[in-house]
Amino acid sequence: MHNIGFIGLGIMGAPMAGHLLATGATLHAHSRSGVPAALLDAGTHACASAREVAERADVVFLMLPDTPDVERVLFGADGVAQGLASGGAGKVVVDMSSISPLQTQDFAARIEALGADYVDAPVSGGEVGAKAATLTIMCGGRDEAFARVRPLLERMGRNITLVGASGAGQTAKVANQIIVALNIEAVAEALLFASRAGADPERVRAALMGGFASSRVLEVHGERMVKRAFTPGFRIRLHRKDLGLALDGARALGLALPHTASAAQLMQACAAQGLDDADHSALCQALEGMSAHAIAGDA
């Protein structure tokens, strides 16, 4: 697998592609915003379309915002499927986007019909994990396809798990996003309570880090809330999309997910306030607006 393709070079995709390039492989890349100069300077070959990437690469990675984006790149004009049509046998498409589990199953079947393999491999860890190559990667697909691409996935992450058949990786990612959203909401409520009661929220956070309430969300996003550091590592609009997938799935499965729904509504309130492109820790601002009190700084 000396020829690797990468489509989608945003906040996370660009550093992930850089890790693959560092393996010594030839990297063929395409992005609507263009291939970043740093990747070009390191030897990446810029392609004019997703089709060209698929024609040149043995393994094609996708890192795109949403389900319609993946469908367009795979099956639209000059898409990956057209590049596989004349020679897909032996190739693998690895979708690292966070999208619908049900549509992922359909995408996999359509790609496999062209002779290629398909692995869904969404990630958790945000921009920090992408840059540090410490992402958690949740995979769905055939055992053989997963085994082929695992060495490449190990260049981008540490905790890499084959969850099951096609779509299972996406299902795990939706579950991950439920847990993260509810943790962000819990941390925001706790720090808001502490601040309004007159305690120093940063000291409260430090105290809680030594107890059973300690979590990665309290550590990272709690600090963001106190320091008002909402430059995006993972944007509210993307997390809103993921919670929408969770609630769509819950309706289809006949499940009640009341707290997932409340977190989705808080993120929707943030979007209405123009915070869709802020970090998802900015969910706290919806609660602050409801309480007319800020965890730190001005409400």
Structural domains of the chain ordered from first start: 3-164 (3.40.50.720), 172-291 (1.10.1040.10)
Q: Give which of 237, 238, 258 is closest to 247, Cα–Cα.
A: 258
Q: What per-residue confidence (pLDDT) applies to 2?
A: 79
Q: What per-residue confidence (pLDDT) applies to 94?
A: 98
Q: What per-residue confidence (pLDDT) applies to 298?
A: 59
Q: What is the signed CA dihedral for 169, 92, 11, 97, rounded to 10 degrees?
A: -30
User: What are the per-10-residue average pLDDT scores of the chain (299 residues)?
Assistant: 90 96 95 94 96 97 96 97 88 97 96 97 92 97 97 97 97 97 98 98 97 96 97 92 95 96 98 97 98 85
pTM, rounded to two decimals: 0.90
Backbone phi, psi, residue 214, to 5° = -60, 140
**Would you say 81 and 75 are in contact if contact means Cβ atoms under 8 Å apart?**
yes
Q: Which token pair is 60?
A: 């094609």
Q: What per-residue confidence (pLDDT) applies to 1?
A: 54
Give the torsion sign (CA, 198, 201, 207, 208): positive
Q: What per-residue confidence (pLDDT) applies to 56?
A: 95
Q: Give which of 151, 62, 153, 145 is closest to 99, Cα–Cα.
A: 62
Tell me whether residue 241 is one of the annotated catalytic residues.
no
Q: What per-residue confidence (pLDDT) applies to 126?
A: 86
Among the options 91, 131, 173, 241, which is catalytic? 173
